[in-house]
């Protein structure tokens, strides 16, 4: 069971770094997009499109970036599937975790 996995200190360090890296990547995409949308505002409706985009993004981030060890392999699997992380970024994690991550990444 994913929730029974034990994480060594070294694994936790690797996991935290990869997690933050993916989060920054995701945020950078959103920042770029909002700057673009703002530049192109022509009418009031464009304002509310930005608001919707931001609140959807915030919701998505909250759902996707869940740093509880009990769900982290699944989180990483999805991040790889979404192109926000590569398996190389997780080098050093135990094979018990990597197996689950790969399984979810290739679903």
Where does this chain bind a copy of itself (CB under 8 A)?
27, 30-31, 34-35, 37-39, 41, 44, 46-48, 50-51, 54-55, 57-58
Question: Are 70 and 3 contacting, i.e. CB atoms less than 8 angstroms apart?
Answer: yes
Q: Going by C-beta distance under 8 Å and a sequence separation of 6 or more, which residues neighbour residue 57?
A: 30
How many angstroms from the chain centroid is the CA of residue 74? 11
**Residue 55: CB minimum distance to a copy of itself, A:** 6
Give min distance, CB of 18 to a copy of itself, in A: 18
Of the pair 10, 38, the CB lying nearest a copy of itself is at 38
Interatomic CA distance for residues 78 and 64, integer angstroms:
8
Q: Which lies closer to a copy of itself via its Cβ, residue 66 or residue 96?
A: 66
Query: Which helix H or strand E contains 22, and what residues bound it?
Result: helix 9-39
Give the residue with the Cβ less far from a copy of itself, 9 or 39: 39
Pick the closer one to a copy of itself by CB: 3 or 59.
59
């Amino acid at each position: 069971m994913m929730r029974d996995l034990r994480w060594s200190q070294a694994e936790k360090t690797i996991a935290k770094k990869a997690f933050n890296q993916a989060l920054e990547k995701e945020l950078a995409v959103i920042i770029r997009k909002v700057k673009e949308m703002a530049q192109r505002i022509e009418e009031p409706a464009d304002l509310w499109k930005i608001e919707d985009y931001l609140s959807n993004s915030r919701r998505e981030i909250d759902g996707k970036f869940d740093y509880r060890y009990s769900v982290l392999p699944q989180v990483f699997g999805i991040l790889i599937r979404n192109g926000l992380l590569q398996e190389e970024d997780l080098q050093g994690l135990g094979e018990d975790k990597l197996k689950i991550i790969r399984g979810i990444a290739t679903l």
